[in-house]
Structure formats: structure tokens, C-alpha cells
């Protein structure tokens, strides 16, 4: 009789426990449904974090793992998976993936549970910055000079890949450049044959400043100088001659303009009322877009008196 009573008592206790669990689940479902959370099972691709990498080493291994969750959660960004590399020197390791707790999640699992990781010593080399002109300046213009700042870059990465790099190259487009211009251009690592080198290398800096000096294509030509005067000497005097210290001038400009110029005039030399010779320095008259070398000349203006016999003739 006593055993029967004990069994009944145990059944009641177990029944109360089951009811408590059911009530707790019902309450949990109610809270979930009232809030903004979602319930269920999800497979989430998560970036794998490598913790405690020793200085001077870099890691090669999987970038992501798959995390299976059952429960409630709002942000997948709260899900973190990591591999601890503390105390690990260069070498190859098989290491466990650690899951960090996620609020509201009942169960979690990760695939794969272990990952193969390679730790390599970082190689650092310095290489020159080269450039490649991907598009030339517009017609009638030419590249006079091109500079890069800095002139060298630092390559950081695994020894095998870093040692393949002989330079970094930037692609320069000058199709719209007609003057001095500067650009910020990303560089890529290249081997001795000009092929790109990848392998997770880091380039410092990743972009360089390029200064391109572009100008019109110039034509050079030497033409005579024509002395131009205005006014009349004083009564009884005349202009005998104008002598210049140079008879020709070099003109520089674009081809079309230079080809149609056959001579260059001086500025107007005022001889009005002059009764004696004099000298002066006078500018040469440069057509638009043309530069002159020299830009000025010394002129000797000879004024002479008219002889009476000549006046009577």
C-alpha cells in the first residue's frame, strides 16, 4: 500500500515538472512572438577571426565557417567564430574553431570544427614605382615629364610571393590632360616580366600621387624682325635708318600658328619730332600663343639733317 502511494506521489511530482517545462516554453514563445525576434534554425556564414597573431607573422587559412543556430536572435553580426593563435610560431597547425556565446540562442554548432592554418613570416622589401601610360594626351599635346610620390613602395607578405615582386605599377590615363595635373592612383605589384603578383601581399602605400606635365607640341622657327616706326622727324630732318642688335628672332608655338608666321614686328618706334639719333630697347610683338626668343631688341635710330641741296631737288 505504501509503495502504491509513493508511486502516485512520484507521478504527481513528474507531472508538475512536465507542466512547469511546458508553461516555461509557452511563456518563452509568447515573449518571442511579442518582440521583434525570430525563432528557428539558421545556417549563417560567418567571417573567421584569427586572434593573437604574433608580430611578424601572417596567417593563411579559411576566411569563413558555417554556424548553425537554433533559438532567437536579432543580428547575425553578433555571431562570432574565432581561432586562437596565441604562442604559435611559423608553421602549419590544425586548430579548433571557437564559438562565442550568442544571446537568445539555445544551441550552436560550427562547420568545420577544426581548420588548417599556416603561419608564415612576413617578408618586407622595397621596390620602385613605375608607370604605364594607358591613354596618351589629346592630339596636339605631349607628355613632357611625369613624377611619382613616393618613388618607392614597401611590399609586405609571405617570402615566396614578396620575392617575386620587382616593382609596383600605376596606370596613368592622360586622355583629358592638357597642362600640369596630379592624380591619386592605386598601384599593383608586378614581377620581372610585368605580370601581376597576388598572394595577399600588402603594398605601402597602396596608392601614389602622380604629377604629369603635359603641354602643346611646339614648333620652332627663326624669322626676320621688321622695325616699325611712327610719326615724322622734326622739320629739316629725316629717318636715315633703324639698326637692330639682332636681325632674327626664334618663335615657338603650336605647329599651325608657327607655319603661317613669316616675320615679327617690333613695337612702334616713335620718331615724331626727333632731330637727332637715339637708341632704345623695344619689345617684339608676339602673336597670340607664340613665344619669342629674345622678347626684346636694342634699336639704334639714326636721324639725319636734310642738306639744303637735297631740299631743293
Highest mean pLDDT among 1-15, 142-156, 253-267: 142-156
Q: Dump pLDDT digits (tens) for 74-120.
A: 555 678 899 999 998 989 999 999 988 877 666 778 899 999 998 88
Confidence check: pLDDT of 4 > 70: no
CB atoms within 10 A of CB 85: 19
Confidence check: pLDDT of 40 > 70: no
The whole-chain average pLDDT of the chain stands at 86
Is residue 100 within 8 Å of residue 82, measured between CB atoms? Answer: yes
DSSP-derived letter for residue 6 is H
Map out the domains of the chain with their CATH numbers.
38-112 (2.170.120.30), 122-216 (2.170.120.40), 218-312 (2.170.120.40)
DSSP-derived letter for residue 242 is E
Q: Dump pLDDT digits (tens) for 169-189.
A: 999 999 999 999 999 999 999
Question: Helix, strand or coil for residue 34?
Answer: helix
pTM value > 0.75: no
Is residue 82 within 8 Å of residue 65, measured between CB atoms? Answer: no
List of residues 6+ apart from 236 with CB closer than 8 A: 275, 305, 306, 311
Confidence check: pLDDT of 312 > 80: no
Q: Tell me the three cell numbers of residue 88.
A: 604559435
Residue whose C-alpha is closest to residue 171's, from 198, 136, 144, 138: 136
Is residue 288 within 8 Å of residue 251, measured between CB atoms? Answer: no
Percent of the chain exceeding pLDDT 70 equals 82
Question: Helix, strand or coil for residue 3?
Answer: helix
Residue whose C-alpha is closest to residue 284's, from 219, 221, 228: 228
For the segment 221-238, the average pLDDT, to the nearest whole number, is 95
Amino acid at each position: 500500500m505504501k509503495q502504491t502511494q509513493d508511486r502516485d506521489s512520484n507521478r504527481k511530482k513528474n507531472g508538475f515538472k512536465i507542466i512547469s517545462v511546458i508553461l516555461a516554453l509557452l511563456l518563452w514563445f509568447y515573449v518571442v512572438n511579442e518582440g521583434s525576434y525570430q525563432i528557428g534554425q539558421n545556417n549563417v556564414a560567418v567571417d573567421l577571426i584569427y586572434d593573437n597573431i604574433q608580430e611578424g607573422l601572417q596567417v593563411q587559412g579559411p576566411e569563413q565557417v558555417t554556424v548553425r543556430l537554433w533559438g532567437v536572435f536579432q543580428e547575425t553580426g553578433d555571431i562570432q567564430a574565432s581561432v586562437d593563435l596565441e604562442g604559435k610560431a611559423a608553421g602549419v597547425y590544425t586548430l579548433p574553431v571557437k564559438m562565442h556565446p550568442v544571446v537568445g540562442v539555445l544551441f550552436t554548432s560550427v562547420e568545420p570544427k577544426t581548420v588548417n592554418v599556416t603561419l608564415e613570416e612576413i617578408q618586407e622589401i622595397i621596390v620602385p614605382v613605375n608607370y604605364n601610360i594607358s591613354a596618351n594626351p589629346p592630339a596636339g599635346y605631349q607628355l613632357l615629364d611625369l613624377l611619382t610620390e613616393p618613388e618607392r613602395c614597401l611590399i609586405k607578405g609571405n617570402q615566396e610571393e614578396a620575392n617575386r615582386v620587382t616593382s609596383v605599377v600605376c596606370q596613368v590615363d592622360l586622355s583629358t590632360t592638357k597642362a600640369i595635373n596630379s592624380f591619386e592612383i592605386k598601384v599593383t605589384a608586378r614581377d620581372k616580366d610585368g605580370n601581376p603578383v597576388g598572394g595577399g601581399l600588402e603594398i605601402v602605400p597602396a596608392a601614389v600621387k602622380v604629377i604629369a606635365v603635359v603641354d602643346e607640341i611646339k614648333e620652332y622657327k627663326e624669322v626676320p624682325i621688321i622695325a616699325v616706326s611712327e610719326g615724322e622727324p622734326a622739320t629739316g630732318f629725316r629717318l636715315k635708318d633703324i639698326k637692330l642688335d639682332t636681325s632674327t628672332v626664334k618663335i615657338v608655338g603650336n605647329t599651325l600658328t608657327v607655319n603661317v608666321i613669316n616675320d615679327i614686328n617690333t613695337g612702334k618706334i616713335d620718331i615724331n619730332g626727333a632731330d637727332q639719333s637715339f637708341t632704345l630697347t623695344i619689345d617684339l610683338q608676339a602673336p597670340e600663343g607664340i613665344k619669342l626668343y629674345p622678347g626684346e631688341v636694342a634699336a639704334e635710330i639714326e636721324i639725319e639733317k636734310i642738306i639744303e641741296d637735297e631740299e631743293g631737288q
